[in-house]
Amino acid sequence: MSDALAGFLTTLDLVDTGARTTEDIFTGPSQSMPNGRVFGGQVLAQSLIAATRTVDDDRAVHSLHGYFLRPGDASADITFAVDRIHDGRSFTTRRAQAYQNGVPILSAILSFQTEDSGLEHQVEMPADLPGPEELPSAVEVLSAVDHPVARTWARERAFDMRHVPNPIYFSVEGEREARQAVWIRSLGTLPDDPALHRAALVYASDYTILESVMRRHGVSWARPDLKMASLDHAMWWHRFARADEWLLYTQSSPSASGGRGLALGRIYDLGGRLIASVAQEGMVRVKD
């Protein structure tokens, strides 16, 4: 197992403080980041793990709606308070709040459901995209770049990401379309815990989704005047898939205005099943 993946798993190994008032209290570490701020996907995944700890084993998360309230400090631990809002016959609802220094940095609502059957359909997976083995990995693209952010992306991320048509780390090549696709999987085998795979998926879903906004306007990550922050994040799990197997993450942006961009995503497995849907609005600012 790589050091990056081991660190990722450590981040999700929350400590149950044993405190029981009106909420269940957990604590967890933050991953080091070049900008000193907590990665949004990390605190989403940790909130999911915390909420899952308070739910019966026969219920799996099917939706998460989270608001990022303020930047988190990547050098400090995070406290998670879970409110057991509702326990029904089929559905369970939890509110998870993440705190640092007594101040909330994320507020999320999560819904869990028992296994059920019913009507089924899905939007089909795009059929004309290259497979992951035909594309360069982030490590191959970034390993020769002498920059702290490039080193972090190349060596310290727990997930492999392969862009279609190409990454926008340094420049935006080709047509400026508000859409792209990214193949993702963890850099190593994960434990068999289904909740961990769902948490890994929401973690990875925050990496690249706003790139559909950036690509449309020719904005790369290297642009010095770029200021970005996730404002909210929603995810719906439709079917189960392992996060250590290749998944196709299609992304598009229907609108950008007022210094904000909206991005939508769909995640498919290699068999073409729609695993999850994602929506995020982010602050995206560049100088005119």
249 closest CA partner among 186, 205, 210, 215:
205
CA 20 to chain centre: 29
| Predicted pLDDT of residue 21 | 75
Q: Which of 204, 257, 236 is nearest to 39 (CA)?
A: 204
Query: Which residues are identified as catalytic?
Result: 206, 230, 280
CA angle 45, 217, 106 (to 5 degrees): 25
- The CATH architecture to which 132-287 belongs is Roll (3.10)
Q: How confident is the model at residue 157, as a pLDDT? A: 86
Residues 53 and 225: their CA atoms lie apart, in Å, by 41
Residues of CATH 3.10.129.10 domain(s) within the chain? Answer: 1-115, 132-287
Give residue-wise pLDDT tens across range 118-176.
999 999 999 999 999 999 988 888 877 777 777 777 777 899 999 999 999 888 998 89
pLDDT at 240 over 90: yes
Domain 1-115 has CATH 3.10.129.10: yes
Distance CA 258, CA 65 (A): 22
